[in-house]
Structure 1
Amino acid sequence: MAARPTGSVALPLHRLSVAGFRDLARGEGGRAVVEELLAAERSRRMLLLRALHDGLSGNGVPHRAGAGVSYGEAWSLLERAQRTAPEVFDDVLMSPNTGMWLSLTMRRLRGVSFEDQPLWVMAGHVAALAASAGVRAGLDFSIAVPVSRGIVFLPTLGCARIEAAQPWSTARVEARDGQLRITGEQGTALIGPGIERSAPGWHAVRRVTLGTEVPHLRIALEELDPYRTFPRPSEPLPLSAQDAQTWQDLLTDAWEILLRDEPVSAEAMRAGLMSVTPTPARERFRPHSVTAGDAFGGVMASRPDDAAQLAATLVHEFQHIKLGGLMRLSPLNVRDSAPGFEELFYAPWRDDPRPLGGLLQGIYAFAGVARFWRAHRHSAGGTHASLAHFEFALWRTQVWSTVNLVRGHERLTPLGRRLLETLRERCAAWLDEPVPDAELRLARQVAAGHRARWRAHHLRPPAAAVDAAVLAWRRGDERPPPGLAAEPVLVPDSEARFLDIEAVLARYRLTGAGGDARDAEGAEGADVLLAAHGDRAGARDAFVALLSGKGAPLGAWAGLGRALAGEEAHEDAARLLRGFPERVCAVQHALEKATGQGADPVLLAQWVARGARELRG
């Protein structure tokens, strides 16, 4: 990111150091490079604040909003806080929630974002920022701020609940001699010294201190701020005392794991990880987490299964944060110039096809995940070690294949190509590292299974070739027409779900929890028989029964391929179903449509396999 002089004032020019880029290109980067990215992000936010100031002064937006929120008073208080306590101003400015608010509000002003709250409430949030900065700077002041459904938010501090007759109103925040009074239309909250502690009518931001060494990592456990969630604001969701303690314990243990196994990442997080927004627990082995480029330093995550999973999640999301910061400074790819067209790719960590920019983010994030499990497998014990070996083997394989898929793409910038080549070299070295045979074999099966399920959902052979294949099958031809093996067309299936089921079931098995595998969403009984119990014969029969009926799940074809593996008579069918299941899917669907009845799944797969050039080669 570069800034040009405006008038007589020269704005700072940000460049990433050579050493910083070298570290980031390897998927790493410690405290020093994160501080470089943060400096650029600070300038960006200052520019956004100025753009917001200018936007609120024009575009027909009144200088005084709502029932008395004054943008001018807010700017004046922010300037006072910046002069008096610049470190406080920067802390409020650099909160992930502030970044998200700035981005959403600017979009709203430009008419490209629509929220249910009035514009004056979103824009008036600047007064709440100013009040927070003023309180923390020790200033005396009085200012009106928005009230959203009876809640007054003071970013980085907490929120007060006051009585309000309307969903959107205002309250006056007054600070005098260390005392804070918040007065709304129908109620008042008084907060004395010690605003960092919760009290009746006041819910303070919960902060967690991690580590015993100095400096500690101190992060906010965000439950309150409306801009803590992505991609749009949400109501507060306070944790119970028990849930808060659970998160405290998990974060403490995860931090100790990172200090031991990922010390460079831990140092980077000391500078750039500012908040974690907890969300409810999800299904086992399927945690959900997200970051946003506009919320540098913030991670939203579901409650994990254990501390190791949380440590991996933090590494994953911090990779996104670092790469997002790099891409602010210089793009890694350029958009396709064809209007209405964006090339999509297979991403082995997603159910859906991804554009090039999103794929680069995934490659970078999962390179970090592979690196974490590579180290953690040597410090974990028992079933945890087995799981860690599997995760390392799986993600190094998936990153390697995806880097090679796009490494020479024409829409990569020179910087993007350098980054991918560096990551490729790193991943190539990982491929030579030994992994126990059982976990390595399982990781390869899972990688192949995900790709097969993705192909079954999103790829379609040429329609004319499918029609010709149906006719050939009904005539009793020895093999399908060669056109069935032509390059398929990508047709994204918005209904694709749970393509990671083989990985989830593998984790159940590795951790000795196979008996619970039937509870995994997206798992058919046949999947459980095969993955959790190793019952190939039972799984084969169950898959055949499933695929002989109408409306069978497309992923079942990939499952049948795995169940048939090892049967000499069906080896070609098994390889086809694990490599190109879309061909059999398409013919079976067309047969059902033409005749009202599909073919025997195994016989059809064997027949289609006779036309597969890849198998004959």
Structure 2
Amino acid sequence: MTSAPLSDTTLTRLARTRPDPAGTPYLGAALRARRRLLLKALRLRVDRGRDGPRPEPYARFDTSWALLERAERDHPGAVRALVDYPTTGTWLAAVLSAPEGPDFEALLAHWDTLAVAAALRARCPFDREIATPGGVLALTGAGRLRTGAERTRIHYDGGRTVRIGPAGAPLRRAFPYVLLVTAGPAPARLRGTGPQWSPLRALPGGRAVLDDLDPYRVPPDGTGLAGHRAAGHSADAYPAWAARWQEARALLARTDPDRAREITRAVRLLVPVTPGTPAPATARAQAPGSVPGSVPARHFGATLAAAPGAVLTTLPASPRELVETLVHEVHHGKLAALHALAPLYRPGGRAVYRVGWRADERPVSGVYQGAYAHLALTDLWRRAAEGDGLPAGWRTLAGQQFERFHDQVGEALGILLQSDQLTDSGREFAERMRTHHVSLGATRGARR
């Protein structure tokens, strides 16, 4: 994966945690390139396994790969949207790490569903029978259809209607279930009929949706959830989430319009999670591949390194909490993307450190991630505390949070700059972070 180098100006703005019109698309392109590399890695693994004792899963993978290639030739944007979708990344991470055998083959079957979803969005005709575990057809980026069958036939002739029924059933005019494909240019949207269909629900403004449907909205093994679990689909829960999202977007737009626009572009999914085993009062468990949030302890937020654009969160008690969670998690995603492009620290180090916002000791990767996300928050809190026309409660709390975390971020940056695990790129980026951190403590007023 190669990309043109970032300009010095863009690197500086990224280190300051400020939105950048050049940096954000650059990081997005890098993430898309990485997703393609992971698909190639999966293809190579399938090629190595096709001569084993169970060739059927690998043959089905080949058929779906061919369908996806055909759809991409017709409408590359429709396929790219599915490949880049956050939950596709979660699935890829799970299937690539699965051991050979039934576990790998069960996860591999989801590729058939992804190919079907991409072909529908591209209006590419097909007739397939695919596995639908638990009697559920989960169409990534669209919704979920309860078919009641473990294998399902899907017939699409390229028009407005998708006919769906149990595997082996003859195609009739009145198939049990029907999806409608929107007219107009691809990528098409899907609209279901009947109570068996549950669509993804758009959040007010922007392109984000509330995703409580996709089977890969969280990792299958719960990695990165710190004892939390995915919330089940609920029609009753949506109004509270939509209201909190709308209130948070409005508060952020008044506080920091540039960040509000960045959040609108960056966040594609809000994934509700519910509390499980409580995390320690001032810590969140962090598993490999996850970047949990940290403020405050009663509220949980997380970003999965494999699924940029998805924010996992419990329902925040206030718009302020959601604002903080969104800013925090988006910056975890930005730093993970930058690290994938130009490694900031070397793997394998055993040294651990204490930081102010965690009770447990952190490796240098955790210190770097935490320092960057909290630097973004201290920048936000400073603007909120000194902003005109903002709610008094928000200004007071922001000022308190700024005073609490500003020194902690400074200490974490000191740890990083004294560490021998940083690469040259990582040290330079941390130096630029420290320059911005110092400016936040030395000057007043909004900064651009």
TM-score by length of 1: 0.61
Change (3 A) 1:186 1:347: farther
Task: State whether structure 2 residue 41 is matched by structure 1 residue 51.
Answer: yes
Deviates more, 1:283-292 or 1:399-408: 283-292
**Residues of 1 paired with 2:426 and 2:342: CA distance?**
9
In structure 2, what is the Cα distance between the partners aligned to 1:323 and 1:94? 18
Contact 2:230 2:274 in 1 (8 A): no
Alignment of 1:232-311 (within 5 A): 232=221, 237-280=231-274, 286-311=298-323
Alignment of 1:87-486 (within 5 A): 87-108=77-98, 118-164=103-149, 169-176=150-157, 177-184=159-166, 188-193=176-181, 195-196=190-191, 199-210=194-205, 217-230=206-219, 232=221, 237-280=231-274, 286-336=298-348, 342-377=350-385, 378=387, 379-432=389-442
Aligned residues: 404
Q: Is the 8 A contact 1:30 1:267 kept in 2?
A: no
Offset of 1:143 from its aligned partner?
1.8
Report if aligned partners of 2:211, 2:217 keep a CA contact under 8 Å in 1.
yes
Q: What is the CA-CA distance between 1:14 and the residue it aligns to?
A: 4.9
What amino acid does structure 2 have at the position aligned with 1:178? R
1:303 deviates by: 0.5
- Code of the residue aligned with 2:381 in structure 1: it is W
Q: Could you say if the C-alpha distance between residues 237 and 171 of structure 1 is closer, same or farther in structure 2, counting changes exceeding 3 Å?
A: farther
The worse-fitting range, judged by mean Cα deviation, of 421-430 and 192-201 is 192-201
1:467-521 deviation per Cα after TM superposition (whole angstroms, max 9, x unaligned): xxxxxxxxxxxxxxxxxxxxxxxxxxxxxxxxxxxxxxxxxxxxxxxxxxxxxxx
1:408-431 deviation per Cα after TM superposition (whole angstroms, max 9, x unaligned): 211111111112111112112222
Cα offset for 1:230? Answer: 3.9
- Which structure has more RCO (C-alpha within 8 Å, separation ≥ 6)? 2
- Cα displacement (A) at 1:72: 1.7
Structure 2: gaps of 5 or more residues: 170-175, 183-189, 224-228, 279-295
Provide the rounded CA distance (Å) in 1 between the counterparts of 2:347 and 2:65.
Answer: 37
Q: TM-score, normalised by structure 2?
A: 0.83
Q: Which amino acid aligns with 1:250?
A: R
Instruction: State the AA in 2 paired with 1:160.
Output: L
User: What SS does the corresponding residue of 2:208 show, helix, strand or coil?
Assistant: strand
What is the alpha-carbon distance in structure 2 between the residues aligned to residue 120 and residue 182 of structure 1?
24
Secondary structure in 1 matching 2:144: strand
**Residues 281 and 303, structure 1, Cα contact 8 Å, conserved in 2:** no
**Deviation string for 1:435-491 (max 9, x for gaps)?**
9xxxxxxxxxxxxxxxxxxxxxxxxxxxxxxxxxxxxxxxxxxxxxxxxxxxxxxxx
Give the structure with the larger helix fraction: 1
Question: How has the CA–CA distance of structure 1 residues 231 and 311 changed in structure 2, closer, same or farther, with 3 Å as cutoff?
Answer: farther
- Structure 1: state its 5+ residue gaps: 3-12, 211-216, 436-617
Q: Give, in whole Å, the separation in 1 of the partners of 2:193 and 2:356.
A: 44
Per-residue CA distance 1:59-102 (angstroms, 9 max, x = gap)? 35655329xx7112201111121111111111111101011111
Alpha-carbon offset, residue 357 of structure 1: 0.8
Cα distance change on mapping 1:398 and 1:236 into 2, 3 Å? closer
Distance 1:26 1:256, change over 3 A: same
Q: Whole-Å Cα distance in 2 between the matches of residues 204 and 244 of structure 1?
A: 12
Does the 8 Å contact 1:124/1:146 carry over to 2? yes
> Residues of 2 paired with 1:334 and 1:272: CA distance?
27
Change in CA separation of 1:161 and 1:219 when aligned onto 2, cut-off 3 Å? same
Corresponding position of 2:57: 65
- Measured in 2, the distance between the counterparts of 1:39 and 1:28 equals 19
Question: How far apart are the structure 2 equivalents of 1:23 and 1:162?
Answer: 49
Q: Is the 8 A contact 1:144 1:171 kept in 2?
A: yes
Query: How far does the alpha carbon of each residue in 1:169-205 deviate from its partner, in whole angstroms, 9 at most, with x for none?
Result: 4322222332222323599433235634564211112
Aligned-residue Cα RMSD (Å) equals 2.7
Separation (CA, whole Å) in 1 of partners of 2:106 and 2:219: 18
Looking at structure 1, the residues matched to 136 and 214 of structure 2 have their Cα atoms a distance apart, in angstroms, of: 10
Closer/same/farther in 2, CA of residues 139 and 302 from structure 1, 3 Å limit? same
SS of the residue 2:316 aligns to: coil
Q: Does the Cα contact within 8 Å between 2:179 and 2:192 map onto a contact in 1?
A: no
Taking the aligned partners of 2:301 and 2:31, their CA distance within structure 1 comes to: 22
Do the aligned residues in 1 keep the contact of 2:82 with 2:140 (CA within 8 Å)? yes
Distance 2:193 2:407 in 1: 48
**Counterparts of 1:376 and 1:186 in 2: how far apart (Å)?**
61
Summarize the Cα distance change of 1:159–1:359 in structure 2 as closer, same or farther, 3 Å threshold. Answer: same
Q: Distance in 1 between matches of 2:393 and 2:258?
A: 26
How many angstroms does 1:231 deviate by?
A: 6.7
One-letter amino acid of the structure 1 residue matched with residue 260 of structure 2: A
Name the amino acid aligned to 2:56: R
Distance 1:203 1:37 in 2: 33
Taking the aligned partners of 1:258 and 1:26, their CA distance within structure 2 comes to 18
For residues 36 and 193 of structure 1, do their structure 2 counterparts lie closer, same or farther at Cα, with a shift above 3 Å needed?
Answer: closer
Q: Which amino acid aligns with 1:265?
A: R
Structure with bigger gyration radius: 1
Aligned counterpart, 1:447 = none
Measure the CA separation in 1 of the matches of 2:181 and 2:166. 21
